[in-house]
Amino acid sequence: MSSSKLPDLNTLSLEQQVAQMVVVRASGYLFDHQIQYPAWEPKAAKLQHWLENLGVGGVILLGGSAGELALRSQQLQNWSKIPLLIAADIEEGVGQRFSGATWFPPPMSLSPIGDKNPAQAQQYAEQMGAITAAEALAIGINWVLAPVVDVNNNPDNPAINVRAFGETPADVSFLTTAFIKGAKRYPVLTTAKHFPGHGDTATDSHLELPVLPHTPERLREIELPPFIAAIEAGVDAVMSAHLLIPAWDAENPATLSEKILTQQLRKNLSFGGLIVTDALVMGAIASGYGAREAPVLAVEAGADILLMPVDPEAAIAAVCDAVKTRRISPERIRASVDRIWQAKQKVAYGEEKGLSSLLAQVAKPEAIATAAQILRESTEIFGSVRLEWEKESGNLRNLIVVDNLLDGEFLSRTAPAIAIPEQLGYKCQIVDCHTPSMSVCGGEETFSGTVLQVFIRGNPFRGSAGLTQIAQDWFKRLLKTGELQALVLYGSPYVKKQFKAALPPGIPCISSYGQMHEAQAIALEILFGRSDQNSR
């Protein structure tokens, strides 16, 4: 493993300094044949070349189990001559991305808890931050790309949605600062994202460039306060948003805007930490700017870290060429690398420990219990509290509607959403975007009762935060035929309003922010009035 001692900056060439400003994407799995996103995740030989020979400054990981990550992070640090920043988008805990670790419900689940008990919500947010940081560090992650400090005041937002802590600047500021406080107990970096605020958009920047048409006064009132609070709380990095904000810069997205990153964030908000771009491979940037020009524009704008450039080698070469042609000054590069060095001196890089001792820090009983308690306290119940059912009552159906079953990691044969109703005599039927539309047109087996479970939430790359047509069609059909016994919603709190308006009195409805197994078990325990420990 590389030493945690950083070299003297004066010994680094221009190319080596610029390479430290680049963070590349890689698979968390250990073997090439396990790579899930080959367009973004290089094979081992290329990744090793980037780390050993180019000297890139960090890696962002996705995929694999917590145990694999402990090995993977050690491998990456061993390949690099300079200690790496190893990052992950773990807004909902390490288990969100790496199986086996603690998986919290989305941050917005704390909002309804805070409405009733602000102190309890604050405590949960701090515990989320501390547990996430501790588990990240245990498996070699030293840069937590969280919290999301966007104010999600647009229900149709497909990119942020429940990733935000709330819908008002006060709620988001209150909870994100608690998260940062908890995480700061450990030597990891935290990140406030996405500056200057991605909450009031209905366009997914992963696909195209959203426009935020607000006035400077509105931006100061709604979007900026959580970032100001995060900076005051000592957040280590701020991630830019791929947004066009005409009030500040009518030509350049925030990620590529000197007026926004340098003037607004660095100078007006006095932020002295790392400015990191959102992923440069996202459609909002990649579709309009080349692999070489986008990194140069981002550095000119004030970014210290270029996250996931389309072509890392081309990005490094392009920035170096910009320095050699005096488009960018050497002092500008040195200022960023100085900040990177300051950040790297704050974090831990892991030790050569046995896997068992590392994993003893992951998914502790108290951490799992905290996640479950947040789920319980944020689960909402409408109508009858409990479904009255009997095995002898007829032909019963458990109808599960999901966006795309191929992406449904929360569903399996043993998932509570499937196993619990099955134990009670319900036949399982799953429909998604691949199911022929004729399946809701009749002419099939009739049921005396149906429990409808809908998994839906705003997610990056989904393009929409609303109900799918197939979910709406099934709901309407079950109401028309009188089959609907109960409705269970997992994910977005926004869609429940559409369902509630048409839901007859007496039909129970359970709404959970989470989609993971624990969320399913809790929701169905409430619905059926029973607990099933084996299916969790």
Catalytic annotation, residues: 206, 278
Specify the length of the chain in residues: 536
* Amino acid of residue 359: L
Phi first, then psi, for residue 160 (nearest 5°) are -105, -70
Q: Please, are residues 84 and 59 in contact by the beta-carbon 8 Å criterion?
A: yes
Among 121, 130, 231, 236, which residue's Cα sits nearest to residue 182? 130
How far from chain centre, in Å, is Cα 530? 32
Query: Any bridge partners for residue 240, and if so which?
Result: 195
- The total of other beta-carbon atoms located within 10 Å of residue 117's CB is 12
**Token pair 């959403």 in the structure block, residue:** 417
* Amino acid of residue 411: L
- Angle of helix 416-423 relative to helix 517-528, nearest 10 degrees, comes to 30
- The total of other beta-carbon atoms located within 10 Å of residue 533's CB is 7
Q: Please, are residues 239 and 278 in contact by the beta-carbon 8 Å criterion?
A: yes
- Angle of helix 517-528 relative to helix 365-378, nearest 10 degrees, comes to 50
Note every long-range contact of 277-280, with CB atoms under 8 Å and residues 24 or more positions apart, other chains counting: 277/239, 277/240, 277/303, 277/305, 277/306, 277/307, 278/193, 278/194, 278/205, 278/239, 278/240, 278/241, 278/242, 278/307, 279/25, 279/307, 279/308, 280/255, 280/306, 280/307, 280/308, 280/309, 280/310, 280/315
Give dist(CA 111, CA 28) in Å, integer: 32
Among 226, 178, 174, which residue's Cα sits nearest to residue 198? 226
Residue 374, SS3? helix
Torsion of Cα atoms, 294 then 299 then 300 then 301, to 10°: 90
Q: Please, are residues 78 and 70 in contact by the beta-carbon 8 Å criterion?
A: no
Q: CA 347 → CA 136, 189, 304, 328, 342, distances in Å?
A: 12, 7, 17, 29, 9
Give dist(CA 72, CA 44) in Å, integer: 11
Q: Please, are residues 380 and 433 in contact by the beta-carbon 8 Å criterion?
A: no
How far from chain centre, in Å, is Cα 279? 13
- Angle of helix 66-79 relative to helix 118-138, nearest 10 degrees, comes to 50
